Structure 1
């Protein structure tokens, strides 16, 4: 099962939920060797390992094919620049300019060039890393190169390491843009983490629109519950959205977070709550499957 943990805005506790859910599942499944995987898909600023402290090793480089133009062969026919929907190529009267940061690596320009003036090389986008040796949970993360814009490509490369035989928890980037869609697309379930504040409520509705458009089953966790008002709960009730868990606005949880400690490690009673939530997700999915069949 693949479960993405997402949020309409940053700072709602998405990473907190990802970590504590993955640790709760891996603790209960230690007799089934490394049955849980945790993926940090927030590749622009991955922070899961700040709490896990694993030694990491590089698994692969993530690269993008980009064109190299032989200006002597090029006859400025403009086919490449007219084709490129990302404006990575611009045909001037005397030469074709290439803007690497705009290229998405489709390779269409090289295929179309009638003079065979375009060859391909590779541009580094980032790396995929994993915890050394055996870890619980089995941990992977993507790391985007500084200044790079091809976030989704790194996320897609990271997701190729998902083992379909295991339970995979994906800590998605915040927001509702392309990196979130790359993380959430094709998962079995999405947990939307929010808070009962005006901004939390507003951005939750945006996130709900995304997962509904992707046709991904989902539920909501209200973090820092007790802060703000009841508008999120009222909205979920009106929309028929299950509230999977309420994590209170608890000083001890905040203190543990500030020390880099997932709170299930110091508050073991919460492991059962995350395990109960996991069972509720499985029941919800079973209900969805019954409706489809």
Structure 2
């Protein structure tokens, strides 16, 4: 079973939920899909090893063949190629590697070369198999790294995807193909607003979902009222607890010091399995 953990905004506690969840259940993989700022490893303490480089194809123009007709530039929706009267400019950071520019070139003047945009790393500790993607600094496209990361899913295990915040392309790449999505939110005006955006994405993708309310005793009850009205299951509520906050600041998953929460996360998995 594949379970994504997402939210409409950053700082709601996705990584907290993901790490404590995987430490509470058996036969599990954890994928840190927040490839621009992966941080699950900070709480797990695993030694990471490189698995692979992630490359995308980038066009290279042979100017001895090119007649500067501009068809490649007209085709490219991402403005990755600009054709001047006597020159062609390629902007690798904008290229999506679709291959279209080479297909429309009448002079066969365009070939492709691999360009590294990130890496996949892995580690293993106890019953947890951990993978993370790391996007190279300055790169704009996280989705190819996330898609490559998810190819390491073992269908015989429970796979947990710790998604990036928001509702943009990296989030969609992270949650696509999941059997279920946990949305972590907080009952504040910003939390509620961005939760609604995330719910809209999951409804369009037709992925079953439920809610975890983190720091549930701050803010107000607008999230719970909305979930009750819409028939959305509230799977768990995590209090604004000083001990949990202190353990987080020390990089310690709270289930390691508060074993009663391991039972609650096992029950969380049971609720998800019953729902789907």
TM-score, normalising length: structure 2: 0.98
The answer to whether 1:127 aligns with 2:122 is: no
Q: Which residue of 1 aligns with 2:191?
A: 200
Query: More deviation in 89-98 or 45-54?
Result: 89-98
Structure 1 gap ranges (5+)? 30-34, 286-293
CA displacement at 1:136 relative to structure 2: 2.9
The answer to whether 1:18 aligns with 2:18 is: yes
Match of 2:237 among 224, 228, 246: 246
Match of 1:257 among 245, 248, 255: 248
2 CA distance for matches of 1:118 and 1:13? 46
1 CA distance for matches of 2:246 and 2:88? 56
| Number of positions where the alignment pairs a residue of Structure 1 with one of Structure 2 | 276
Root-mean-square deviation (Å):
0.9
Deviations 1:128-166 (A, max 9, x none): 0001x5543100000000010110111001001111111
1 CA distance for matches of 2:212 and 2:59? 45
1 CA distance for matches of 2:239 and 2:19? 17
Q: Which residue of 2 aligns with 1:169?
A: 160
Q: After TM superposition, list the pairs within 5 Å mapping 1:20-39 onto structure 2.
A: 20-25=20-25, 29=26, 35-39=27-31
Match of 1:180 among 162, 171, 177: 171
- 1:200 aligned counterpart, secondary structure: helix
Structure 2 gap ranges (5+)? none
Q: Which residue of 2 aligns with 1:6?
A: 6
Alpha carbons 2:120, 2:131 under 8 Å: kept: yes
1 CA distance for matches of 2:51 and 2:134? 11
2 CA distance for matches of 1:136 and 1:73? 56
Q: Which residue of 2 aligns with 1:110?
A: 102
Q: Which residue of 1 aligns with 2:85?
A: 93
Deviations 1:244-266 (A, max 9, x none): 00001110000100000000000
Q: Which residue of 2 aligns with 1:61?
A: 53
2 CA distance for matches of 1:47 and 1:134? 16
- 1:186 aligned counterpart, secondary structure: coil
Q: Which residue of 2 aligns with 1:221?
A: 212
- 1:54 aligned counterpart, secondary structure: coil
Match of 1:273 among 264, 268, 273: 264
CA displacement at 1:214 relative to structure 2: 0.5
CA displacement at 1:59 relative to structure 2: 0.3
Q: Which residue of 2 aligns with 1:139?
A: 130
2 CA distance for matches of 1:135 and 1:102? 41
Q: After TM superposition, list the pairs within 5 Å mapping 1:225-240 onto structure 2.
A: 225-240=216-231
CA displacement at 1:116 relative to structure 2: 1.1
TM-score, normalising length: structure 1: 0.93
Q: Which residue of 2 aligns with 1:289?
A: none
